[in-house]
Amino acid sequence: MMATLAELSEPAHTITWCNGCGDFSILASLKTALSKLSIDPHDTVVVSGIGCSGKLPHFIKTYGYEGLHGRSLPAASAIKLANHSLTVIDVGGDGDGYGIGMGHFIHTCRRNIDMTYIVHNNQIYGLTTGQTSPTSEKGFKTKSTPEGVLEVPVNPIALAVSAGATFVARGFSGNLPHFTDLIMQGIRHKGFAVIDVLQPCVTFNKLNTYEYFMKKVYKLDPSNHNPRDKMAALVKAEEWAEKIPIGVFYVEERPTYEDGLPQLAAGPLVKRDNSKIEIASILEEFE
């Protein structure tokens, strides 16, 4: 049965994001994608870390888990392995996923676990009131870098492709139909899908605004970009200054992490009979 948008909404919680925040568009696109894919709320888990994006599971009526800062991917991986029949969607921010969680990000890409990772990339730490994030542009001035950022920014698209993610895309929260379609493609894909989202922070980032992106973003055209070509994807990943591509950069089919686990062949672990499992000997080791 198809889940309706009403069924995916949670009216009991008041959304606390700033007016105009790109997170609203991401939430709306995710709900629309799940509804169009006919994925029921009780078959879905939305996992998050810490940050403005981390509150998204509170505002959608699915199973949800809000983890620690930078640690959402291990939690999402564990949920998927415990019950691989679930649709698992991880949502995080650029600081959460590309900063403190960078190690988890790289290793989840190479493991190719079948889940979708949506990264709210506003190029700033919004929840903690406007410090530099790993994706802030070089020279960008914030309260933590009053003289301007010295480092070159992280390139999440290039990192995801080179680390082994099998679906890599970028969306823009100012284009809901296009972004909704990317989420649907990512969920349908069997493997680890990374979707980086250009998500303007209207309160603290006065550089990377909606107007800034509207002038620069363009959709990748399948007629002149082959998403099966890894080198072509890496070349497109380097485009940023004058024009910023959005769409699917790279797609690859290869066995998932779950495919290599014979323990999962008989069905989800949570549905197994564990009545005959004896753990007394293990517990004795901790006495």
- Indicate the pairing of strand 244-251 with strand 217-219: parallel
Average pLDDT score over residue span 182-198:
98
The enclosing H or E element of 170 equals strand 167-172
Question: Domain map of the chain by residue range?
Answer: 5-284
User: What are the distances in angstroms from CA 106 to CA 47, 67, 100, 164, 210?
Assistant: 18, 18, 12, 8, 29
pLDDT of residue 10: 58
Residue 2: pLDDT band with limits 50, 70, 90 = low
Alpha carbon dihedral 256, 226, 198, 113, in 10-degree steps, equals 0
> Alpha-carbon distance 207 to 140, whole Å?
8
When the candidates are 3.90.870.10, 3.40.220.10, 3.40.50.720, 3.40.50.970, the CATH number that belongs to 5-284 is 3.40.50.970
> Alpha-carbon distance 182 to 239, whole Å?
19
Longest dimension (CA), the chain: 65
Strands, E assignment, 67-182:
87-93, 116-121, 167-172
Statement: residue 13 has pLDDT above 80: no
Average pLDDT score over residue span 115-137:
92
Statement: residue 206 has pLDDT above 80: yes
Rg (CA), the chain: 19
Residue 63: pLDDT band with limits 50, 70, 90 = very high
User: What global pTM score does this model have?
Assistant: 0.93
The enclosing H or E element of 52 equals none
Judging by beta carbons within 10 Å of its beta carbon (0-12, 13-18, 19+), is residue 58 exposed, middle or buried?
Answer: middle
Work out the end-to-end distance of the chain between its first and last CA atoms, rounded to an integer number of angstroms: 49
Statement: residue 11 has pLDDT above 60: no
